[in-house]
Amino acid sequence: MTVPPPVPGGSSSRDALTARLTALRTAAGLSGNALAKRMRIVQSRVWKIEHGELLPTGDDIRAWVQVTSHDPETATELIEMLEEARAESATFKAAFSKYGAARYQQEVAAIEARSSRIGEFQVAMIPAILQTADYAREILSLASGPGAWGASADDIEAMINVRLRRQEILHDPGKRIQVVLGEAALRTLVCTQQTLIGQLEKLLSVMQLPSVELGIIGFTQRMPVFPFVSFSVRDSALIVVEGLTGEQKLTASVAADQVASYLRFFDLLRESASTGDEAAAVIQRALDSVAVDIRGTG
C-alpha cells in the first residue's frame, strides 16, 4: 500500500509528517481512539502527534505504519521525515503561537531528562539552566523575549516555572552539566544590577555541585572559536543553535558533520576556560564590581 500524499498547506517538516500520519489513519478507516488501542498507547498521544504538539518516536511510526497496513518502506520514509523535523529551524513566533512558551520549555526539559551530557556555551548571558527566577523574569521581559512572539504574561510566568524545575537535574549524579561562559555574561546588564548580584551568587553556589562543570573564558583569555552564537549540546546527538528569532536543531543522524564540528568547538571552549577556583575568582571579581557600582550610584 502506498503512503497517502501530504495534505497541502504544511509549513514545516513537522506539519508534513503529522499530515502524512493522519492521512494513513484516515485511509485505514480508523478513529484516533481505535488507532491508539491497536498501537497500545493512550489516545491523547495520537491526538498530540496529529496536532503537532508531540513528535512521534521511531517506534511510534513503525507501530502506526504496521497498524494501518503499510509496508516497512513507508516507515523508513516517515522516519526520515521525523529526522528532518527534528533538525529543522523553528521560529519562536511559530512555536509559541502553536504550543505556548511554557509547553515549548517542557519539550526542552524532556530532552534534557533523556540526556546524560548537557552542554551550554553563552557569550553574554547566563543560560537558562543556571538562571535565578529574577534573572529569568527580567531577561524574558526584554524586547526580544517571548512577549514579542505572542506569549502572554501568564504563559511567560509558567515558562519561568518550568525553567526553574529544569534545574533539578543539576543535582542528578547521573548528569554531566558542562557550561562555558564568556566573562561578558557575568557583567552584561540584561537585568538590574541587584538581580545580577543574586545571579552571580548562584553561580558560585552551583559550581560546587559534583555534576556541574562551570568554565569562564575571561576578557584576557584567548577565545578559540568565533563567539557568534550561543549553542547547547545534548549528548553527542543534538546541537541547538539559538538566535534572536528562533533556533535550529541539528541531529547527528541528519547533520553529522555539523554536529561533530560543534562538539569539537565545545571541547575547545572547555579546554580554554578557567574552572574551579580560577573561575570562582573571575565571578567574584565581577560580583565585587557590580556591588561597587551599586554603592556608587546609591
**Please, which residues bridge with residue 215 across strands?**
180
Query: What's the rounded mean pLDDT across residues 165-190?
Result: 97
Residue-wise pLDDT tens digits, 33-90:
999 999 999 999 999 899 877 889 899 999 999 999 999 999 999 988 887 776 666 7
**Which pLDDT does position 283 carry in this prediction?**
98
Residue-wise pLDDT tens digits, 110-126:
889 999 999 999 999 99
Contact predicate 69/82, CB 8 Å? no
Could you give the angle at which helices 133-140 and 193-206 cross, rounded to 10 degrees?
130
Question: For residue 40, is it left (φ>0), alpha (ψ between -120 and 50) or beta?
Answer: left
Tell me the domains of the chain and their CATH numbers: 13-87 (1.10.260.40), 89-297 (3.30.870)
- Distance, CA of 270 to CA of 227 (rounded, Å): 14
3-state secondary structure of 69: coil
- Distance, CA of 186 to CA of 286 (rounded, Å): 6
* pLDDT surpassing 90 at residue 12: no
* pLDDT surpassing 70 at residue 1: no
